[in-house]
Amino acid sequence: MTLLRIETPRAYEPFLRPSRYKGAKGGRGSGKSHFFAELGVERSLMRPGSRGVCIREVQKTLKESAKRLIEDKIKALGVADRFTVLNTEIKTPGGGVILFQGMQDHTSESIKSLEGFDWAWVEEAQTLSARSLEMLRPTIRAEDSEIWFSWNPRNASDPVDQLLSGPEPPPDAIVRHVNYTDNPFFTAVLESERALDERARPGRYGHVWLGQYEPVAIGAIWDRLMLHRNRRAEMPALKRIVVSVDPAVSSERGSDEHGIVVCGVGEDGRGYVLADYTTKGGPRQWADRAVAALDQFDADAIVIERNQGGDMCRHTLESVRPSVRVIEVTATRGKHVRAEPIAALYSLDRVSHVGTHARLEDQMCQMTAGGYEGEGSPDRVDALVWGMTELFRAVVRGPGKPAPKVQQYGGAGSWMG
C-alpha cells in the first residue's frame, strides 16, 4: 500500500470529495495546476489501472501540456518507481495510463478512444470550445469518472463558465474561485511580480491575478471598475421599478436573445439593476418571463422596444396578462448612441448593480462609442438602456429637449388599480 503525504491548501479541500465535475477558477499563482497534477498522481496510485487524460483545446506539442508538471509531481512525491514516463504518455500502476491531448485534434469518432477513461483534466479551460465540451462530457463516462477544469475566467459566455458558473450548474459539481491569497506556497518571486503588475498594469491586474473576467474593449463606455465599486449586495427601498424588454427579431435557433432586465430607482434617487432574465425562445416565452419578473418585483410597468414587432409586442404581452401596463418606446438612434447617457450616469456613480449579472456586464464592457465590439447583438444592454432611460427621462433628455415619444397602455382598471 502506498502512503502519500500531500499538503493540500484549505481552499482545495472540497475537491478531495468524489464529484463528477470539479472546477477551480482564479488568477495566477493560485496553485490550480499544481493541485490537479497532484490529484492525478494520487488517483493513479489509489486506483490501479486508472486511465486519465490531460486535455487542452489546442495542443501542438507536449511542451504545451501538463506532462512535465505531472512528472515533477511524481518525483516530488517519491513515487517515481511506480510510474513509467514515456515520450508521449505516462504509464501508471496496474496497467493504467495518463495521456495528453488537444481537443481540436479529435472528431466525433476519434474521441471514442477515451471512452474507458475515468478522469480528465481540462487545462486552460476558458479556451475550450462548446463543440469540444459537448464531445468530452459524454465520452468520460466510466463508473465514478470525474472531469476536472482549471481556468482563469475570460468571459461569462465561455462554455466552461456557462456550464459551471451559469444559472444552473450541474448538481454534482464542486466549483471554487481561488487566488494567490489561497496558496500558502505562493513564492516571494511571484509576490514581487504581482506587486509590480498591481502598480504598473492596473487595467490587467484584476484578470491576471484575481481571476476577474477580461478587461473591457478599447474605448468602452463602461468599465468593470465602475461596476464593481458601486455594487450592492441587497436591494434598497425603491420608489419605481420597470421590466425592460428588447425583443429579438426572430425566435429561430441561432437567433439573438430577448433582452429582459429589471431596473429600479431608489428613494435615494439612484438607479439599480435588479435582475437579468434574458432568454431565447418564441414570443410567448419572453412574454411569460417578462410578466413573471413584473410580478416577482411588483414592478410598475413593462418597457418594450416596438421597432422589431410593432403592435405585436404589446399584443403578445396582453395575451399573457390582458391588463398589463406597457410602455412602448421607439428607437431612432443607434444602440451605442442611446447607451452613452446611461453610461454617463454610471460614471457619476449614480447606478448600482444588486448582485452580479455577469453576461450583462460582459456586454456592457464591449460597448464602445463607435458601436458594439462583442459577438451577436447586445440585447441585454439594450434592455438595460431602455429601462434606465424610462426611469431617468429628465436626466437623459437634458434641459430644453423634447421628451421622446412613448405610448402607454393599461393603467386604470388594470391589476395596478
Q: What average pLDDT values come out for the chain (417 residues) when binned by 10 residues?
A: 80 96 97 97 96 92 89 96 96 97 91 96 93 95 97 88 91 96 96 94 87 81 84 91 88 73 97 94 92 96 77 86 89 82 94 89 89 87 95 71 50 33
Q: Where are the alpha helices (DSSP H) in 57-101?
A: 67-76
Q: Is 301 helix (H, G, I), strand (E, B) or coil?
A: strand
- What is the per-residue pLDDT for 179? 95
Are 8 and 16 within 8 A, CB to CB?
Answer: yes
In degrees, rounded to 5, the angle at the alpha carbon of residue 303 between the alpha carbons of residues 298 and 304 is 135
Q: CB–CB of 181/191 below 8 Å?
A: no
All three cell numbers of 400: 430644453
Of 141, 138, 140, 134, which Cα lies nearest the Cα of 163? 134
Q: Quick count: other Cβ atoms within 10 Å of Cβ 69?
A: 17
Q: Which amino acid belongs to residue 115? A: E
Q: Which domains are seen in the chain, by residue range? A: 10-182 (3.40.50.300), 224-409 (3.30.420.240)
Residues ≥6 apart with Cβ < 8 Å to 330: 305, 306, 307, 404, 405
173-178 and 238-246 strand pairing = unpaired
Residue 86 CA to its chain's centroid (Å): 38
Which grid cell sits at 82?
511506480
Distance CA 134, CA 407 (A): 45
The set of residues, in sequence order, having a beta carbon less than 8 Å from that of 250 and lying 6+ positions away, is: 256
What order of strands is seen across the sheet that includes strand 259-266? 351-353, 271-276, 259-266, 238-246, 301-305, 326-329, 406-409
Helices within 297-399 (DSSP H only):
311-320, 335-347, 358-364, 379-391, 393-397
Query: Looking at residue 274, what is its pLDDT?
Result: 96
pLDDT value at residue 203: 74
Distances (CA, A) of 117 to 14, 71, 122, 145, 413: 23, 20, 14, 8, 64
In 3D, which of 333, 298, 331, 340 has the Cα closest to residue 313? 331
Question: Are the beta carbons of 29 and 153 closer than 8 angstroms?
Answer: no
pLDDT at 80: 96
| Predicted pLDDT of residue 167 | 83
Separation CA 40–CA 354 (nearest Å): 40
What pLDDT score was predicted for residue 151?
A: 97
Query: Which candidate, 179, 184, 237, places its Cα nearest to that of 211?
Result: 179
